[in-house]
Amino acid sequence: MSERDLIQELKSTIKDLSDEKEDLLKAIKQKEARSKTLLIKLEHSTADVSTTGKKIAEQDKELVKLKDKLKDKNKIVKKEIDEEIEKYITSHSTVEVESKKEEDEESQ
């Protein structure tokens, strides 16, 4: 091989290596861009999960408040029902006692 052929071979090798280097740099940039995109998506997902968790916690607090209100309402309704039952029993037992007295008086 002549010196000229060696120089041509060297130039060709350098060109091939330069092209390969450019291809590798492009591949690295693409992978970095994908990594950044995935990182951004992950951050958004994490933020969404955090926000959802906070909303769930708020709804749990509201649910507890509503359950307490329901218990209070149930107590009030139970009390009113008991009062109505007591009134009914009182009014009807008086009528029954009077009826029994009248029956007793008639039978004598």
The CA distance from 92 to 87, in Å, is 8
Mean pLDDT score of the chain: 89
Return the SS3 of 82.
Answer: helix
The model's pTM is 0.50
Note the pLDDT tens digit of each residue in 59-101.
999 999 999 999 999 999 999 999 998 888 888 776 555 566 5
CB atoms within 10 A of CB 50: 10
Report the distance separating Cα 49 and Cα 52, nearest Å.
Answer: 5
The pLDDT score that the predictor gives to residue 104 is: 62
